[in-house]
Structure 1
Amino acid sequence: MKLVKPDAPQPPNVVQFIVSMQMSKYDIENYLEKIYNVQVENVVTHVRMGKCERSFKGYITKKDDYKVAFVTLPRTEKFEFPTLFPESKQEKENEELKQLDVLQDEWNSNTRRHKHRHGVPTWFGV
């Protein structure tokens, strides 16, 4: 079983998993209750078709089909998908993007100053 972040917004007590094609609803419910001690209200499963892709040689390949299980927990329990990238990392990435913009502005100003010498490095001054 693999916990998956849902594509569409779900109620707080619904969790989405990708499970083996051989697992039934009862297997999923028993697995979560016996191993993880999680109370399960309802299980809904869907079989999704794998994507078809065309390779560079013209062959068409199809990914394997997979089963998605939507597990409904009791109303008192809420599940939040864990945040993998905390705010501090987001702020750090924003600072790096700002630095990248400053460097790109400097590069553009240098290339505008030497616009008649395309391909010549800036350290090669006359």
Structure 2
Amino acid sequence: MTKCDVKNYLEKVYSVPVGAVRTRIQYCTNKKRNHLSQRVKRPDYKVAYIQLAQQQTFQFPEIFPQKDTALEPGSVEEMQDQFMQDEQQRQKADPRRGGMTEWFGL
């Protein structure tokens, strides 16, 4: 994205007045080697620094709102929750084994 693209994106999508945009390219190193002793270079990427207009603050929008935890009886979510509870109960260690792992037979 160019500086103009970044500025237009923030103003249109987030309704944030942008004062200035600075960009730079972050060059990555190629010091790492793979199993064939070949140099491996991570890809370069672009970094943008945004300065808002004076007296402006930015608040990230809530992308994933919290759902209510009350489940309807017989719903798929309720059955999945019950299944997960049963699996967690089943995977608990047996207290009679005294800390001995399951794979070690007595």
**TM (normalized to structure 1)?**
0.41
- Structure number with higher relative contact order (C-alpha < 8 Å, ≥ 6 residues apart): 1
TM-score for both structures, normalised by structure 2: 0.46
